[in-house]
Structure formats: structure tokens, C-alpha cells
Structure 1
Amino acid sequence: MKLAATGLLVAMAALFAASRAFEPAYPWLAWVKAFAEAAMVGGLADWFAVTALFRHPLGLPIPHTAIIPRNKDRIGDSLATFINENFLVPAVVARRMRNIDIAGAAGRFLKAPAGEGTRIRQGASRLIADIFEGLDDERLGGIVKGAIAQRIQKMQVAPLLGHALASAINEDRHVPMLEAAIRWLSRALDANEELIREMVHKKANWVLKLAGLDAKLADAILDGLRKLSAEMSTDPTHPVRIKVEEALAQLANDLQTNAATQAKVEDLKEQLLANRSVALWIDAIWQRGRESIIRAARNPDAAMAGRLGDVLRSMGESLEQDRRVRSAINQFVRRAAAGMAQSYGSSIVMLVSETIRSWDARTVTARLESAVGRDLQYIRINGTLVGGLVGVAIHALDTI
């Protein structure tokens, strides 16, 4: 465009010279000379104006030229102020956002055709797998395990245990556990009969041993314990069983209200967390979980990817069909955008201003000229042609 504008100016100069040379022989060329003369003036004037925006014409330090390089900081501040006052006003942002259905667009995207949905699921699965494989296992595992241990340390375990035990007792969910404990006691008696007999024999005095009563005493003890376990198993109102239930209820209450009991539980919790076996157990849980996530995510047809797709599709359908949810989300987005404009608008415009300030004059000139230079060359062309027409008009008035 520079070549076109400059070429037109040169053509007007050549036309002026030719018409001036042949005017005595051809008087009508006076009109052509008037056109070319005024066109040269208009083209040169617009060339000067366009060039003065970006640099000194012909390198001469003429006042009020190279306007953009000399005033780039003021231009940056003015542009930032213009953006802040006309675009980043909360009311303007909210009014603009009122006509945009963000929730509906999100719903249509999530409720995509099969190909789109598959791509989303596979992409999400690959992203999850890449994250878990890319992050340092030892460091990430340490963070996860440390977070779990820290969470447990901060948590008061005793009231939770007490509340859970009380709820189980109130809903009779402790009964199967109690009956299982009674059955275990019965099996333990059968498995350790010889050990019990040996203990009774060792504790009995020489008189009982001499009379052979130690064996009868062991039989009586074993029979009594077996009878006790059988009665407790079949009779829900057995006194010992009631005592055990009362003890459990008292324990549930102490766990929730008794400071001494709570302190003992917390101390036990700290001992467990400090135990190496517990640390190894947590580490094993983390490793199994990490491997399962990676294995599921690497398989595009795995349940994880399929369920993710189902969840996304369900969310999309809900956003499209539920007008209240869509309205609530759009309102939230609108308020968030207006809030961001109010809170961070000044920071955004400061970024614009400081970025332009950081550019050198040559960079600013080159970027602006590349953006609007083509249109400015049209000004030169128009100035040349309009100037020529004005010259013809003036020549016509002069000949009247």
C-alpha cells in the first residue's frame, strides 16, 4: 500500500510535468495540470500527516511529529483509562452477561454427541493418568499420607467413636457384634481347653492334686463357661449380657463426655500414628489406590471413563432442562464477572498501561503501524485524488 500511494504521487508529479510542458500547444491540458498540481499537494500533505504519526518526516525534527513514539506512555494511560471506564464497569459487564446463557452453552457442550462425549471422557481419563504418573510418587505419596495423618491428628476421635457406638446401640446394630463375640468365646474355650486344664493344675494346691480334684475343678470351670456362653447366646435378657450392654452404653457416654476417657483415646491414637506398622498400612493403601486410578484411567473403556461420561452427560441434561439451575448458574457467573471487574479492573488496565510503558518507542511504532498502516495508506491515496478534484474545481472557478 505504501508503494501504491507513493506510486500515485509520483504519477501525479509526472502528469503535472507533462501537462505543463505541452500546455502551450494544447490549452485544454490546463485542466490536467490543475488536477495533477492539487493532487501532488494533497498527496504530500497526507504523506506528511501519516508519517508524522510514527516518525519524523525525512528524519527532520519538525515540531509535533513522531507523535506516537513521543507520547506512548500517555497513549497507554489513556487506553487503559478508556478500557476501565467503558468496558470494566460492573454495570456494563453485568448488562452484557445478562444476554449470555453460560449454563445453557455448558449443558449443550456436556450433552455432546457420542464422538464428542467419548473424546471428553478419554481426554479426562488421560489427564488424570498423566497427573498421577507425572507427579513424583514419593513426594506426592508423602503429601497424601502426611495430609491423612495430619487430618487424623487434628480430629477428635473419641466423640466420633462414642457417637457411632451410641447410634449402634440405639438401633440394635451392636447385637450381631455381641453375639459374634460370644461365639468367639465359645470357640476359644474349645480351642484352649488343655491350656485351661494345665493352668488349673498348676494353681491348685497339693491337697487338691492328691485327691484328684484339680481335674474336676477344671471340668467345672469349663462346663460353667460353656453354659454361660450358651445362655448368653440364646437369652437376650441374660444378666451378664445386660451388664455388657450397660458397659458399652457407659463407654459410649464416656467417649463423648468424659475428659479422662477422651484423653486416653487421643493418647492411643497418637501411639497408633507413631507406629511404623500403621505408616506402612497407610502407604499400602495409597499405592493400591494410585495404581487402581492409573490402571482405570489408562483404559478408555474402563468403568471410570464410562462413569465420568455418564456424569458429564447427566450434568448437561440437567443444565438444559432445569431452568432454575440454569438461571442460578447464569446469575452466579454474572455476579462473579461483575465482581471480578470491580475487584480486578484496575489491575487489568494497569497491566495494559505498564505493558505499553515497557515497550520501546520502536516496538510501539512497529506494532501500531502494522495494525493500522494499510488504512493510513488509503488516506494518502484518497488525499491525492480528492486534492486533484479540488484543484479542478478551483481551476473551474478561476476560468469563469
Structure 2
Amino acid sequence: MHLFATGLLLGMAAAFLTFRRLAVLHPEWSVPLGFATAFAEAAMVGGLADWFAVTALFRRPLGLPIPHTAIIPVNKDRIADSMGRFLRDNFLTPQVVARRLHGFNLAASAGAFLADPRRGEQSRLSEGAAGLFADVLESLDPEQMGGMVKAGLRRQLEKIELAPLLGQMLDNAIADRRHLPVLESLLRKVGETVEANEPMIRSMIHQRANTIMRWTGLDERLASGVLDGTYRLLAEVIVQPDHPLRGKIDDALAKLANDLRNDPAMRLKVERVKLELLANPAVAAWMDAMWERAREALLRAMRNPDRVLAGSLGDSMSQLGQALDKDVRLQALVNRFARRTLVGISSRYGSEIVRLVSETVRRWDARTVSDRIEGAVGRDLQFIRINGTVVGGLVGLAIHAVERWL
């Protein structure tokens, strides 16, 4: 389109020169050549004016330091702030989010998409939205975006009182006997560990036995007895559901669950451990890696949604979509949760998202901003030049006709 608009302008310039030359060589054609010359001359002026106007948005025309040109590069920071304010005022205030979500059945729309994500116009819309989301996610600063996500996750974890939650989970596991497979697995692992380290255990018993026991060989019998007794005890606890040791373990677990729920000292201890873990650099590094993997997985999913929706995952999502599409009570529940969640996100993180977008655009160099905006609306800009050339020519034709009539 850029080449076409430029070629049209050059064509009008060549036509103007040609018609002027023909008017000199053939005076008898003065009337039609007058109209043609007027059209070409006005089209050339209109094309040049619109070329200057379009170019002045993104750069200095011909590199000349003309005032009020290169508007976008010069005002890059102001554009970044304006984009941030636009997002905040139109999308990220709790009142706007609540008003836009009111009456919108988000669950039904999501259900229809999940039930049949490849349906006609909906498929093109979803692919476009996925591509746009991926572009936005790639353009945002990964470190700052990750820092915002991790800070939000850390704040939520700090608010959660972990001890009562763990106590309730342990209570439920004991009541449903779901802890037994874990207990049996741990006992088997203890047996395997003892067996793998049997030479070391025998050596420790030999070293601690007195001289008489070593002379008489009783230390070896003692080591064999300790190991055999350990294996037998573990086997009996594993195979006998009513073994006394199992009862003692269940009692200890029940006491631990009760302490987690009701003992202030235990709850304080768990909270202290939780905060120490959250402050640990290793946990921070783990969260960094987790965020980066999640970001890469999200980008892959957005770039290739058909692959994500294939196989068992696609079948599960389709079943979920059908349930959302048909169950009115489930829709009401999901819509209420979505409204509360989105309003809460806009209230807590709206200003941070706005700052993230604004600072990301500010960090772009002026050439990058100009290229991205010009690339997004480039065809329309070239149509402005084409229209300016054609409309200018028609106006010139009209002025010449009025001039001859008068």
C-alpha cells in the first residue's frame, strides 16, 4: 500500500508534466488538456500534503527539523501515560468492571466456546483474541510482570492461616482412612532404607559392642536380631490393620490435627515456618521458575490453541462447556464468582497493571513505538494518501470547471 500510494503520487507528477508539455505542443487540445492538467496538478498537491501529514506522525519529513513533526516519537511518554489512563478509566476500575459484567452471562459464553471451540466466526474470534493476548503478554516486561504476579501470590499466601487448614485436611484424611496408603508407603520406604543401609547398621552395632561380645560373636547375633526385629515389626504394621502401633500413629496424627486447629502455640509455630519459607531465597527462585514455566505454557497455548484442545484435555473441557451451557444454577454460581473475582482484581491490581503498561511503553525506544503503531494502522494511513490524491484531483477539476464557466 505504501508503494501504491507513492506510485500514485509520482504518477500524478509525471502526468502533470506530460499534460503541460502536450499543451505547448498541441494548442488545439487546450480544453481537454486544461482539465487533465488541473486534475493532475491538484492531485499532486493533495497527495504531497497528505504524504507530509502522514509522515509527520512518525518521523521528520525528509529529515528536516520542521516544528510539530515526528509527533509520536516526540510524545512517546505522554502516549504511554495516556494509554495507562485509558485502561484505568475504561476497564480497570471496580465500578466499570461491575457495570460491564452486569447482565453478561460469562459462564454461558465460556461454555459455548468450550463445548465447540472451532465453530465458524467464534473460532476466528477466539484465534484473534488468543493471538492478541499472546502479543500483549510477550510485549510486557517479563520480570516486572512476574514480580507483580509473585507479589500478589505471596500476599495471598501470607493472608491464609495455614495451620487450621492443614488440621482440617488431616482430620478429614484420618476420618476417610485416606492416610493409610501414605502410612504404608512410608513404612515400606523405611524398610527399604534399613535394608539399603544394613552394612552400616551392623558396623555401628559392632563398634558399640564391648570386647567380650566381639570375641564371642554375640555382636553379630545382636545386629541380626535388631535388623530381623525391625523388618518383622514393619511387616506386621503393614499387613495388620489392627496393629497397636497403627493405633498409636492414628492417635498421634489426630492429636496433631487437633493442635493445628486449636492450639495457639502450634498455629503460631506453623505461621512462623510459613513466613520463613516465603522469605527463603530458594522459595523465591522456585516461584520465579514456576512463573516462567507458566508464562511459556500460556504463550504456547495461545499460539496453538487447537493443539491444547486436542485429546483428553479437549474432551474434558468440552464436557465442562456443555455443563456450563445447560446448567442455569452452575452459570449463576460461576458468573457470581467471576464478577467478584474480576472486581477484586481491578480494585487490588488495576493501578499496578496500568503502571506496568505505561512503563513498558516508556521503555520502548521511539523507533519501536512508531513502527508498532504504523504497522497496526499502516494500510489505513496509505489509504489517506490515496484518497488525498484522488480527492485533490477532483477538487482541482471542479475549480478549473468553475473558472472556465465564470
TM-score, normalising length: structure 2: 0.49
Structure showing greater radius of gyration is: 1
